[in-house]
C-alpha cells in the first residue's frame, strides 16, 4: 500500500527535528508480512533548527531511505537468550530491511515512524560554526551576551567564599 506523506508527516518530522520544517517530501510503501509490517520509502526534509549554543536558526537538510520492519511486541521474546536466537529481521520480506522496530500488533503509527526517523537523522549537536565556520565567533559572542558572561566571570555568591579560602598545608 502506497502512503502519501502529507501535513501530518511534516508535523511529525518537525517534532523529531525539534525545529521547523520548511520543505518536506516523501513516500512510504507499507506492506504486511504475516504479523510484521514493513515500511519502506524515502524522506526529504529541509528544516530550521536552533543552534545549540546561541539559538540562531540554522538550516539543515536531511534525506534518505527508510526501511524498517515492525513486529508486534508480543512476537518479540522477552529474555536475552531468545533475542539472540531471533533472526533480524524476523521475517524474509524479499527486500532489504535496515532497521527493526516494534508496534502494538494492532495499528502502526506512521507519524511515529517519521518522527523517529527525524530524531535519528538530526545532528545531535548543531552549532553555527559547523554550518559556516566564519560564524563561530559571532555565535560565541551571541551566547556570551545572552548568558551575561561577556565581562568578568560572575561567581555564584554561594560559592564566592571558596575563592578566598587558602588550601591547608598538608604537613
Ligand atoms: Zn550559534
pLDDT computed for residue 158 by the predictor: 65
Whole-number Å distance, alpha carbon 9 to ligand 1 midpoint, is 28
Distance (Å, whole) CA 25 – CA 138: 33
Whole-number Å distance, alpha carbon 10 to ligand 1 midpoint, is 25
| Protein residues near ligand 1, an ion, with CB under 5 A | 51, 53-54, 56, 128, 139
Whole-number Å distance, alpha carbon 142 to ligand 1 midpoint, is 7
160 falls in which pLDDT band (50, 70, 90)?
low
Whole-number Å distance, alpha carbon 159 to ligand 1 midpoint, is 30
Domain boundaries, the chain: 2-141
pLDDT reading at 103 higher than 80: yes
More confident residue, 138 or 160: 138
164 falls in which pLDDT band (50, 70, 90)?
low
pLDDT digits (tens, 9 = 90+) for 104-159: 989 999 999 999 999 999 988 899 998 889 999 999 999 999 887 655 555 566 66
Whole-number Å distance, alpha carbon 146 to ligand 1 midpoint, is 11
This prediction's pTM:
0.74
pLDDT digits (tens, 9 = 90+) for 52-66: 999 999 999 999 999
Q: How many CB atoms lie within 10 A of CB 37?
A: 22
Q: In what order do the strands lie in the sheet with 2-4?
A: 2-4, 20-33, 36-50, 57-72, 99-103
Whole-number Å distance, alpha carbon 137 to ligand 1 midpoint, is 9
Cell triple for 16: 523529531
Distance (Å, whole) CA 21 – CA 155: 40
Whole-number Å distance, alpha carbon 105 to ligand 1 midpoint, is 43
Q: What percent of the chain has pLDDT over 70?
A: 80
Length of the chain equals: 171
Amino acid at each position: 500500500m502506497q502512503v502519501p506523506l502529507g501535513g501530518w508527516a511534516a508535523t511529525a518530522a518537525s517534532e523529531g527535528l525539534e525545529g521547523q520544517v520548511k520543505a518536506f517530501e516523501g513516500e512510504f510503501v507499507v506492506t504486511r508480512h504475516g504479523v510484521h509490517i514493513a515500511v519502506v520509502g524515502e524522506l526529504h526534509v529541509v528544516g530550521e533548527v536552533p543552534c545549540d549554543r546561541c539559538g540562531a536558526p540554522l538550516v539543515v537538510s536531511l534525506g534518505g531511505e527508510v526501511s524498517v520492519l515492525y513486529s508486534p511486541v508480543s512476537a518479540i521474546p522477552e529474555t536475552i537468550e531468545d533475542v539472540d536466537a531471533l533472526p533480524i529481521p524476523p521475517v524474509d520480506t524479499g527486500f532489504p530491511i535496515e532497521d527493526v522496530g516494534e508496534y502494538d500488533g494492532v495499528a502502526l503509527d506512521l507519524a511515529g515512524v517519521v518522527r523517529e526517523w527525524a530524531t535519528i537523522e538530526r545532528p545531535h549537536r548543531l552549532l553555527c560554526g559547523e554550518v559556516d565556520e566564519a560564524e563561530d565567533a559571532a555565535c560565541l559572542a551571541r551566547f556570551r551576551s545572552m548568558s551575561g558572561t561577556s565581562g568578568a566571570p560572575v561567581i555564584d555568591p554561594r560559592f564566592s567564599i571558596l575563592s578566598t579560602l587558602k588550601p591547608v598545608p598538608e604537613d
